[in-house]
Amino acid sequence: MAGLALSLENKVALITGGSRGIGAATVRLFRQARARVVFSYLQASAQADALASEGGGPDQCVALQQELRTPAHGHTLVSSAVLAFGRLDVLVVNHGIWVAQDAPIAEMAETQWRSTLQVNLDSVFGLVQAAVAQMDRQAPDASGVTGHIVLVSSTAGQRGEANHADYAVTKGAIISLTKSLSSELA
Protein backbone atom coordinates (compact mmCIF):
# COMPACT_ATOMS: atom_id res chain seq x y z
CA MET A 1 0.00 0.00 0.00
CA ALA A 2 1.49 3.32 -1.08
CA GLY A 3 0.12 5.26 1.85
CA LEU A 4 -3.04 6.53 3.37
CA ALA A 5 -4.28 9.99 2.46
CA LEU A 6 -6.31 10.19 5.67
CA SER A 7 -4.59 11.75 8.67
CA LEU A 8 -5.97 11.23 12.15
CA GLU A 9 -2.90 12.48 13.96
CA ASN A 10 -3.71 13.74 17.48
CA LYS A 11 -7.11 11.99 17.35
CA VAL A 12 -8.30 9.23 19.65
CA ALA A 13 -10.57 6.51 18.33
CA LEU A 14 -12.57 3.86 20.17
CA ILE A 15 -13.40 0.80 18.05
CA THR A 16 -15.66 -1.89 19.48
CA GLY A 17 -15.17 -5.51 18.49
CA GLY A 18 -11.68 -4.68 17.32
CA SER A 19 -9.74 -7.90 17.83
CA ARG A 20 -10.79 -9.78 14.68
CA GLY A 21 -12.26 -9.36 11.21
CA ILE A 22 -13.62 -5.96 10.20
CA GLY A 23 -12.78 -4.55 13.63
CA ALA A 24 -9.10 -5.54 13.44
CA ALA A 25 -8.86 -4.13 9.91
CA THR A 26 -10.38 -0.89 11.21
CA VAL A 27 -7.88 -0.72 14.07
CA ARG A 28 -5.03 -1.16 11.57
CA LEU A 29 -6.47 1.51 9.27
CA PHE A 30 -6.83 4.04 12.10
CA ARG A 31 -3.30 3.33 13.31
CA GLN A 32 -2.01 3.74 9.75
CA ALA A 33 -3.74 7.16 9.77
CA ARG A 34 -1.82 7.87 13.01
CA ALA A 35 -4.77 7.90 15.43
CA ARG A 36 -4.29 6.58 18.93
CA VAL A 37 -6.69 3.67 19.24
CA VAL A 38 -8.55 1.94 22.02
CA PHE A 39 -10.41 -1.18 20.95
CA SER A 40 -12.61 -3.62 22.78
CA TYR A 41 -12.79 -7.36 22.63
CA LEU A 42 -14.65 -10.00 24.58
CA GLN A 43 -12.88 -13.34 24.23
CA ALA A 44 -10.07 -13.13 21.64
CA SER A 45 -7.38 -12.03 24.10
CA ALA A 46 -4.42 -13.47 22.17
CA GLN A 47 -5.50 -11.69 18.98
CA ALA A 48 -6.22 -8.48 20.90
CA ASP A 49 -2.82 -8.49 22.60
CA ALA A 50 -1.04 -9.14 19.29
CA LEU A 51 -2.97 -6.37 17.53
CA ALA A 52 -2.30 -3.86 20.32
CA SER A 53 1.39 -4.67 20.12
CA GLU A 54 1.35 -4.41 16.32
CA GLY A 55 -0.39 -1.06 16.68
CA GLY A 56 2.39 0.45 18.75
CA GLY A 57 1.69 -0.73 22.27
CA PRO A 58 0.16 1.12 25.21
CA ASP A 59 1.17 4.61 24.09
CA GLN A 60 -0.62 4.20 20.76
CA CYS A 61 -2.97 1.20 20.80
CA VAL A 62 -4.79 -0.28 23.79
CA ALA A 63 -6.97 -3.39 23.92
CA LEU A 64 -9.67 -3.49 26.59
CA GLN A 65 -11.65 -6.59 27.45
CA GLN A 66 -15.24 -5.41 27.92
CA GLU A 67 -18.56 -7.16 27.74
CA LEU A 68 -21.08 -5.07 25.79
CA ARG A 69 -24.65 -6.03 26.77
CA THR A 70 -25.99 -3.03 28.63
CA PRO A 71 -25.91 0.75 28.36
CA ALA A 72 -23.72 0.74 31.49
CA HIS A 73 -21.17 -1.44 29.69
CA GLY A 74 -21.06 1.14 26.90
CA HIS A 75 -20.57 3.97 29.37
CA THR A 76 -17.76 2.04 31.08
CA LEU A 77 -15.94 1.43 27.80
CA VAL A 78 -16.10 5.09 26.78
CA SER A 79 -14.81 6.13 30.22
CA SER A 80 -11.96 3.63 29.94
CA ALA A 81 -11.01 4.94 26.49
CA VAL A 82 -10.95 8.52 27.77
CA LEU A 83 -8.90 7.41 30.77
CA ALA A 84 -6.38 5.78 28.40
CA PHE A 85 -5.81 8.79 26.13
CA GLY A 86 -7.57 11.79 27.69
CA ARG A 87 -10.24 12.36 25.04
CA LEU A 88 -12.43 10.72 22.39
CA ASP A 89 -12.63 11.97 18.81
CA VAL A 90 -14.05 8.97 16.96
CA LEU A 91 -16.36 6.14 18.02
CA VAL A 92 -16.68 3.17 15.67
CA VAL A 93 -19.38 0.76 16.86
CA ASN A 94 -18.48 -2.50 15.16
CA HIS A 95 -19.27 -5.22 17.70
CA GLY A 96 -22.28 -7.48 17.46
CA ILE A 97 -23.53 -11.03 17.57
CA TRP A 98 -25.12 -13.20 14.91
CA VAL A 99 -26.17 -16.67 16.00
CA ALA A 100 -24.96 -19.03 13.27
CA GLN A 101 -27.73 -21.61 13.69
CA ASP A 102 -30.94 -20.85 11.83
CA ALA A 103 -33.80 -20.02 14.18
CA PRO A 104 -37.21 -19.64 12.52
CA ILE A 105 -39.26 -17.02 14.32
CA ALA A 106 -41.79 -19.68 15.48
CA GLU A 107 -38.97 -21.55 17.21
CA MET A 108 -36.56 -18.78 18.27
CA ALA A 109 -35.87 -18.82 21.99
CA GLU A 110 -36.69 -15.63 23.83
CA THR A 111 -33.21 -15.80 25.36
CA GLN A 112 -31.66 -15.59 21.88
CA TRP A 113 -33.90 -12.64 20.97
CA ARG A 114 -33.06 -10.74 24.18
CA SER A 115 -29.35 -11.51 24.00
CA THR A 116 -29.04 -10.24 20.43
CA LEU A 117 -30.92 -7.04 21.28
CA GLN A 118 -28.79 -6.46 24.36
CA VAL A 119 -25.46 -6.80 22.56
CA ASN A 120 -26.45 -5.22 19.23
CA LEU A 121 -28.64 -2.39 20.57
CA ASP A 122 -28.63 -1.78 24.32
CA SER A 123 -24.86 -1.44 24.52
CA VAL A 124 -24.85 0.78 21.42
CA PHE A 125 -27.20 3.19 23.16
CA GLY A 126 -24.79 3.45 26.09
CA LEU A 127 -21.75 3.84 23.84
CA VAL A 128 -23.31 6.59 21.75
CA GLN A 129 -24.78 8.40 24.75
CA ALA A 130 -21.46 8.43 26.62
CA ALA A 131 -19.44 9.32 23.52
CA VAL A 132 -21.67 12.26 22.60
CA ALA A 133 -21.50 13.58 26.17
CA GLN A 134 -17.70 13.26 26.14
CA MET A 135 -17.35 14.88 22.71
CA ASP A 136 -19.60 17.76 23.78
CA ARG A 137 -17.22 18.46 26.70
CA GLN A 138 -14.21 18.69 24.38
CA ALA A 139 -13.03 21.68 22.41
CA PRO A 140 -13.84 21.46 18.70
CA ASP A 141 -11.05 20.92 16.17
CA ALA A 142 -10.04 23.55 13.59
CA SER A 143 -13.08 22.74 11.47
CA GLY A 144 -15.46 23.15 14.42
CA VAL A 145 -16.10 19.41 14.86
CA THR A 146 -16.04 17.81 18.31
CA GLY A 147 -16.22 14.19 17.16
CA HIS A 148 -17.38 11.52 14.75
CA ILE A 149 -19.52 8.42 15.25
CA VAL A 150 -19.62 5.47 12.85
CA LEU A 151 -22.23 2.76 13.40
CA VAL A 152 -21.61 -0.46 11.47
CA SER A 153 -24.77 -2.18 10.24
CA SER A 154 -25.54 -4.89 7.69
CA THR A 155 -27.57 -5.46 4.57
CA ALA A 156 -29.73 -7.63 6.83
CA GLY A 157 -30.99 -4.37 8.32
CA GLN A 158 -32.25 -3.30 4.89
CA ARG A 159 -33.58 -6.52 3.42
CA GLY A 160 -34.15 -8.75 6.44
CA GLU A 161 -32.64 -12.16 7.06
CA ALA A 162 -34.74 -15.32 7.06
CA ASN A 163 -34.23 -17.39 10.21
CA HIS A 164 -32.21 -14.55 11.78
CA ALA A 165 -34.93 -12.00 12.57
CA ASP A 166 -33.19 -11.05 15.83
CA TYR A 167 -30.06 -9.94 13.99
CA ALA A 168 -31.92 -8.22 11.14
CA VAL A 169 -34.08 -6.23 13.56
CA THR A 170 -31.03 -4.91 15.40
CA LYS A 171 -29.23 -3.93 12.22
CA GLY A 172 -32.33 -2.15 10.92
CA ALA A 173 -32.48 -0.27 14.21
CA ILE A 174 -28.81 0.74 13.81
CA ILE A 175 -29.66 2.22 10.41
CA SER A 176 -32.52 4.20 11.95
CA LEU A 177 -30.32 5.32 14.83
CA THR A 178 -27.73 6.56 12.35
CA LYS A 179 -30.39 8.59 10.52
CA SER A 180 -31.69 10.03 13.78
CA LEU A 181 -28.21 10.97 15.00
CA SER A 182 -27.29 12.56 11.67
CA SER A 183 -30.19 14.99 12.11
CA GLU A 184 -29.77 15.51 15.83
CA LEU A 185 -26.00 15.96 15.95
CA ALA A 186 -25.32 17.69 12.63
Q: Active-site residue 41, yes or no?
A: no
Residues contacting residue 170 through CB under 8 Å, at least 6 positions apart: 96, 116, 117, 120, 121, 157
Residue in 89, 167, 169, 174 annotated catalytic: 167
Calpha distance 155→9 (Å, rounded): 32
Instruction: Give the C-alpha distances (Å, rounded to integers) separating 125 from 33, 34, 116, 181.
Output: 27, 28, 14, 11
Amino acid at residue number 180: S
Residues catalogued as catalytic: 167
